[in-house]
Homo-oligomer: A and B are copies of this chain.
């Protein structure tokens, strides 16, 4: 692997570049994106040089798409004209079905979808971190199991091992249903809570503690990030939201009953299990 192109050198793309370098990658790292982002990425030593999409696509052995979902979907067909047949194109988009549906437009080289579960409340290349992926799940969504075993895919997966990511293979549909519950529902629960409280301006906010800060932290995430996610995973999110609405409504009805004990026990059991202690 002599040349890697990072398309979207923000938190994820920039961290992938830094992680590769730290893991011993000696080749070139090209950056594709806005002049402003690329200047910053180059100044931080995240990329070696900026390049237009055409040149990056023509020269790279590995193309790492770390743009928002819609832009990844739009870019995949555009790559067709330039990519090398032995290149691997991969992405880090937060939903996978829409991207996998767009991928067949790329016929001249292999595509392998991915999603590193390595978010952060911070965005932008200045928060890029060579250790961002260490110990974190990195979902791969091949169309067929054989997609994982091609030479290019094996090489990419070796680098994932070296940067400390923990690979998990799922179908795009499995992935999207899971994240609807584990990522998109928590986001909407937080945004809905914060947006509701924003309509209750009469409540003195100093009468609150760490609980409210915790549960509204996600609400700081901008729609800019979430618009694409909601649009490309609406069905699974609707299912998760409907289940959450049912759980809350049941709670409202049981508020004065001893059914609440069981809810608290189940919730605490889950929270402990998530923390690897149950």
Instruction: List residues of chain A with CB under 8 Å of any chain B CB.
Output: 117-121, 136-137, 139, 166, 168, 170, 175, 177-179, 181-183, 185-200, 203-223, 226-227, 230-231, 234, 237-238, 241-245, 247-249, 251-252, 255-256, 260-261, 263-275
Given contact pairs A192-B247, A248-B188, A216 touches B267 in the complex (Cβ within 8 A) = yes
Interface core residue of A177, A203, A222 (most chain B CB under 10 Å): A203
Q: Give Cα A275 to B166, complex, Å.
A: 34
Count of chain copies? 2
Given contact pairs A185-B193, A194-B267, A267-B195, A241 touches B252 in the complex (Cβ within 8 A) = yes
Enumerate the 6 nearest inter-chain pairs by beta-carbon distance, A residue then B residue, closest first. A194-B267, A223-B264, A219-B267, A182-B208, A198-B270, A191-B267
Beta-carbon contact of A274 and B189 below 8 Å: no
Q: Give Cα A201 to B90, complex, Å.
A: 30
Beta-carbon contact of A222 and B264 below 8 Å: yes
**What is the chain B residue whose CB lies nearest that of A183?**
B211
Beta-carbon contact of A192 and B267 below 8 Å: yes
